[in-house]
Amino acid sequence: MAIRRSLLSLGTAALASALLLAPALSAEAAAPTACKGSSCTGKNPQGEGCGSGAKVIDRVQPAGGGPEVQLRNSARCSAAWARIQKANSSWRFKIQIRGGASYTASASPSYEAYTRMVGSSNAYRACVEIYDGRGGSWSCTGWH
């Protein structure tokens, strides 16, 4: 009986130690995403839980200099979007679907800004408008 109690205590202690040492998942990483693939198109990447673990797959800067725009992809959501660091709000950027819609946003001097998402089964690219006072001229990543 004493041996059984010792083994039970040892097992309980080992289990408690394992639980204390196990890395905790963040709430966002553990939470399911609200969209996947084409159902993410037109939605907010942060609001849908797609920002966690997203990777920068390409970058572009406007011809003549200016803020970098990142093309980001979330494997978890099968979706992509463009993001710009803090910058003058005159800078516009977009994510564009080949032969389809584009989602344009403006930079903010107060926070990083991002576009709506597109499902990553589409061909897409990120672009930043060349700030030359005339508008309409864009520098873009390659198609992905």
3-state secondary structure 72-138: EEECCCCEEEEEECCCCCCCEEEEEECCCCEEEEECCCCCCEECCCEECCCCEEEEEECCCCCCCCE
Q: Half-sphere exposure (CA, 13 Å, Cβ side) for 84? A: 31
How many residues comprise the chain?
144
Write down the number of H helices and E strands in the chain.
2, 9
Q: Which of 11-15, 25-29, 82-86 has the highest mean pLDDT?
A: 82-86
When pLDDT is averaged across residues 25-30 and rounded to a whole number, the result is: 45
Distance, CA of 110 to CA of 142 (rounded, Å): 29
Structure-block tokens of residue 98: 């080949």
Q: Half-sphere exposure (CA, 13 Å, Cβ side) for 22? A: 9
DSSP SS3 for 39:
helix
**What is the percent of the chain where pLDDT is above 90?**
65
Averaged confidence pLDDT in the chain: 83
The answer to whether 114 and 93 have CB atoms below 8 angstroms apart is no
Band (pLDDT 50/70/90 cuts) for residue 4 is very low
Please check the confidence at residue 26 and state whether its pLDDT lies above 70. Answer: no
- Tell which residue, 78, 68, 63, has the closest CA to residue 113: 68
Band (pLDDT 50/70/90 cuts) for residue 64 is confident
Partners of 103 in beta bridges:
95
